[in-house]
Amino acid sequence: MRLAILGGTGRTGHLLIDEALVRGHELRVLARRPEAVHRQGDLLTVVPGDARDPEALRQLVEGTEAVVSALGPVKGGPPDVMTLTARHLIHVLPEEGIRRLVTLTGAGVPHPGDHPKPADLVFRTLLRLLQPDVIRDSLAHVDLIRESDLDWTVVRVPRLGDGPMKPLKVGLVGDISTLVTRASVARFMLDAVEGGEHVRQAPAISN
C-alpha cells in the first residue's frame, strides 16, 4: 500500500516506519526536520512540513491510500497540534479521495462502552490535573475524527514501553492492562490498515 505517516520522527513513529517498510509499503512521511527521519530508501519519501499546515498535509497524502498517525504532544511544542491536524485532515482527505485514517491516542480518552476500573478513573483524573493541555488536545482531536465521515480507527493505548512485539489484549478501557510496547502498537496499527479492521471504532490495546 501507499501510506502517509504522521509522527514518524517519534519513538513509536520510528517503529511504525520500520515495520511498514518490512511489509513492503511505500511511505510518505511528514517531518518538520527531514533529517530526523531515521530511514532512507526507495520506498520512503520525506515531505518537509508541519502537520498543522493544511497544504503540507495535502502534499503528504498525495497519491496515498491511507493515513497512519502516531502524532502526539511534544514537550515544549504547541498545545493543540493533534486538534489542528485532525481539523485539517477531515477536510483534506475527502478532497484527495482518501477515506482511511488510523490514529493513536491515550487510553485516558473515553469511548462509549468503556467500563473503567477504579485505577483507570484515577489515571484519567490525574491526567486532567497534571497534563490538562495534553488531555484537552487528545479529546478534541478524537471528537473531530469521530464526527467525520472518514473510515477512521482511533487506537487507544496505556503507558508505552520499549521492547519487542508481544501478544495483545484488544477491547475497551476496563479490559486492558497498564502497558503496551511501541512495537506492538505499530504492528496493530498496520494490521488495522491492511485488514480494514476496527473501522469507526476506538479499540483500547495493551500487552
pLDDT tens digits along 107-120: 999 999 999 998 88
Sketch the domain layout of the chain as residue ranges.
Answer: 2-206
Q: Give the rounded percent of residues in the chain with a pLDDT score beyond 90.
A: 87
**Contact in structure between 138 and 105 (CB atoms under 8 Å):** yes
What is the per-residue DSSP string for 24-43? T-EEEEEESSGGG----STT
pLDDT reading at 77 higher than 80:
no
For domain 2-206, is the CATH number 3.60.70.12?
A: no
Q: Which range among 46-50, 113-117, 125-129, 153-157 shows the weakest confidence by mean pLDDT?
A: 125-129
DSSP at 144: H
pTM above 0.75, yes or no: yes
Residue 18: pLDDT band (50, 70, 90) is very high
Confidence at residue 125, expressed as pLDDT on a 0 to 100 scale: 84
Name the grid cell of 178.
497498564
In this structure, what are the phi and psi dihedrals at residue 152, rounded to the nearest 5 degrees? Answer: -95, 155
Residue 56: pLDDT band (50, 70, 90) is very high
